[in-house]
Amino acid sequence: ILSFGNIMIFETVYKIRFGDIDQAQVVYYPRFFNYYHTALEDFFGNCHSQTYPDLIVKQKIGFPIVNISANFYIPFSYGDTLRIQLAVIHIGNKSVKIKYKAFKNDLKDVAAEAIITTAIIDLVRFKGIDIPKDLRIFLEKYHAEAGF
């Protein structure tokens, strides 16, 4: 967890594995969406009172992606370190928008980034629901301006 004044940002680190790269010897771009989702799971597992599987299985709350925008600037290769930072940039009534920034090794420049909007749904009825109060309070702790 990184803190910038009153803004908290979650950070997690991964190593690029052989299975992540393509024939051009760089990370195949769809893998980033898996990295971002894994970062979201780590975010809940490390920062929330319930893990992501607990929310899905026990609470029956789902987080389907409804919109995604991504940019890629610097390629990653086998053995590189991938640091992902995430912050909540918008909390709606029934959705949340999270921005992800990926950094390569110790570089300061953003290597890739995405903004992903997820709906909050009841998995039993598969319909949108208002964000539960405890989840909203948690998300608000990591709310940053869109400029993050």
**What Å distances lie between residue 24 and 20, 28, 30, CA to CA?**
11, 9, 14
Question: Which tens digits make up the pLDDT trace of 78-130?
Answer: 999 999 999 999 999 999 999 999 999 999 999 999 999 999 999 999 999 99
Q: Is 77 helix (H, G, I), strand (E, B) or coil?
A: coil
Distance CA 102, CA 13 (A): 10
Q: What 8-state DSSP symbol labels residue 17?
A: P
- Residue percentage of the chain with pLDDT more than 90: 84
Q: What is the mean pLDDT of the chain?
A: 92
Read off the pLDDT of residues 3-22 as tens digits, 9 standing for 90 and up: 565 667 899 999 999 999 99
Contact between 24 and 83 (Cβ < 8 Å): no
- What pTM, to 2 d.p., does this model score? 0.92
